[in-house]
Structure formats: structure tokens, C-alpha cells
Structure 1
Amino acid sequence: MTRHTSTMDQTLQLRIASLESKLDAVLAKLSVDESSQWLDTRATCSLLGITDRHLRNLIAEGTIHGEALRNVGTVKKHRYRFHRELVMNQYLKRKGI
């Protein structure tokens, strides 16, 4: 019985190790996907098809606001990151599309 139990334990340990490695891979992929959702100013302008100045005006007007942008710079020198989906939704809502 102990021989069968130890074989079963080894099999379970191998399966658990396999599942853990697969879960780690999924979590790593999700982490990369989350970070790729945030774009810098240049990429956001390219995505929306607008200029940097126009984007700054949209922020000042409040068209682009809230969760769609984050200031990763300082209070005096803003460096924004824009959430890909949210900024697009806010921009298209403004355009009435």
C-alpha cells in the first residue's frame, strides 16, 4: 500500500508543479497585458490621430479625464499615461460616434 501511495504522491506533485507553472505563465501574461494598456503621449496621439497640442487641449477642456489618464510625472512637469480603451471611448464620445 505504501508503494502505491508514494507513486500516487509523486504523480500528484508532478501535476501540481505543472499547474503551478501554467498559472505563473497566465499571471505573467495578464501582467504584461495590463501594462500594455497604458500608452504614452506619442502612442496615444497616434492612436487617436491627433497632435500633441490637441491632446493637451482635450485634457484641459476635461474631455479626456478621470481614469483614462494618469500623471506619472510631477506636479510641475506632467508626464501622462493614457488607458487605451478609456481614452478612445472618451474621445469618440466627444466626436459623437
Structure 2
Amino acid sequence: MMMTLSRGGAGHDQLYGQTGDDTLDAGAGDDYLEGGDGDDSLVGGDNQDQIYGQAGNDAIDGGKGIDLLDGGEGDDTLMGNQGDDSLTG
């Protein structure tokens, strides 16, 4: 089983997890994150992020900004935090 640990930079990043329990941190910028299968930890940054947990029991933190959070399949924990966020479990 693979595990991914990725952190985005100041720009607009696209981060993708694998089949394991991944940790993706968007950093600054308008970012796109996909956790993939597994129990993932996905963290948005200060701007507008799109974060998709997909399968597994994921923990998703939108951070600041106006974010779209979608947990996908599984028992997920979604935290919008600051901004006018859209959350789908």
C-alpha cells in the first residue's frame, strides 16, 4: 500500500493521493486536492480550494477562503472553517 505526503506551494497546485492513507496540504493558492482510496487527511489553504476525499474515512479541513469540500464514500469529517464553504458528506 502506498502513502502520499504532499504539500503545495504558493501557486495553484493539484495534489493527488494514492490508494493508501495520504496527507495532502494545499498551502497558499487556489488548489485542487484528491485523496484517493484510504483514510486521508486533506488540508486546504488560505484561498479557494476544491477538496475531494473520495473513498475511505477522510478528515478534510478547508482552511480559509471559499472552499468546496466533498468527502465522497466513507465516514468523513469535514471542517469548513473561515469563508463561505460548500460541504458534501
TM-score, structure 2 normalization: 0.21
The structure with more strand, counted as a fraction of residues: 2
Structure with higher Rg: it is 1
The structure with more helix, counted as a fraction of residues: 1
More contact order relative to length (CA 8 Å, sep ≥ 6) = 1
TM-score, structure 1 normalization: 0.20
